[in-house]
Chain A
Amino acid sequence: MKRRDFIRTSVGAGILVSAYPRSLFARLQTQGRRGTMFEKIWDAHVVANLGGETDLLQVDRCIDGSPNQVMRLVREGVELQNPEIFYNVPDHTVSTSPDRYTDQSLGSGWQAYEELADEMKELGFTKAFGQFDPRFGIMHVVGPETGLSQPGMVLCAGDSHTCTHGAMGLISWGGENSGNVLRTGTVIRHRPKTMRVNIVGQLGPGIRAKDVILRTIAQLGTDSGTGYAVEYAGPIVRALSQEARFSICNLAVEMASPTGTVSPDDTTYEYLAGREFAPSQRYWDQAVAFWRTLPTEDDAVFDREETIDMTGVEPQVTWGINPEHAIGINERIPDPDQAPTNKRATYRQAIEYSRLTPGEPILGTPIDEVFIGSCVDSRISDLRAAAAIVEGRRVASTLTSAWVVPGSNAVKAQAEAEGLDRVFKAAGFEWRESGCSKCYGSNGDYVEPGHRCVSNSNRNYIGRQGRETNTILASTTTVAASAIAGSIADVRTFL
Chain B
Amino acid sequence: MRQVLQRGGQSFEVHEGLAAPFMFDNVSTDVIAPALTEGLDTPRLGGGSNQGATAFANIRYNADGTPRRDFVFNQEAYRTASIMVVGKNYATGSSRITGVTRPLAAWGVRVYIGESFGPIFLTNALQYGVLTIELPRETLDEIVEWVESHHGVRMKVDLQRQLIELPGRDPIPFETDPRVRNKLLYGLHDLEEIEPHLPAARAKREQDEQERPWIYDSGNPQR
Contacts and interface: CB of A to CB of B under 8 A. Distances in A.
Contact of A345 (B24, B38, B192, B212): B24
Nearest to A56: B197
Interface in B114-162: 116-120, 123-124, 127, 137
B58 A256 contact: no
Contact of B191 (A183, A225, A449): A183
Contacts of A287: 212, 214
Contacts of B213: 283
A293 to B, nearest CB: 12
Interface residues of B, number: 64
B119 A258 contact: yes
**Majority secondary structure, A binding face:** loop
Contacts of A278: 218
Given A190-B177, A258-B120, A14 B215 contact: no
Given A175-B120, A461-B93, A47 B28 contact: no
A188 B193 contact: yes
Interface in B187-206: 187-188, 190-194, 196-198, 200-202, 204-205
A261 to B, nearest CB: 14
Contacts of B88: 223
Interface in A272-322: 276-284, 286-287, 290, 322
B179 A54 contact: yes
Contacts of A256: 89, 92, 116, 118-119
Interface stretch (A94-102, A462-470, A473-481): A462-470
Nearest to A278: B218
A401 interface: no
Contacts, number: 202
Contacts of B137: 342
A27 interface: no
Interface in B23-56: 23-26, 28, 30-31, 34-40
Nearest to A1: B186
Nearest to A15: B196
Contact of A160 (B34, B37, B119, B182): B119
A320 B134 CA distance: 26
Contacts of B80: none
Contacts of B172: none
Contacts of B35: 440-442
A222 B89 contact: yes
B2 interface: no
Contact of A58 (B34, B40, B204): B204
Contacts of B117: 226
Interface stretch (A4-12, A194-202, A364-372, A389-397): A4-12
A82 interface: yes
Listed from nearest, the 10 A-B pairs whose CB atoms lie closest are A175-B120, A279-B214, A463-B58, A223-B89, A461-B28, A283-B214, A175-B95, A461-B30, A441-B36, A258-B119
Interface of A: 1, 3, 6-7, 10-11, 14, 18, 47-48, 50-52, 54, 56, 58, 60, 81-82, 84-85, 126-127, 147-148, 150, 152-153, 158-160, 173-177, 180, 183-186, 188, 190, 222-223, 225-226, 253-254, 256-258, 276-284, 286-287, 290, 322, 324, 342-343, 345-346, 349, 440-442, 446, 449, 459, 461-464, 466-468
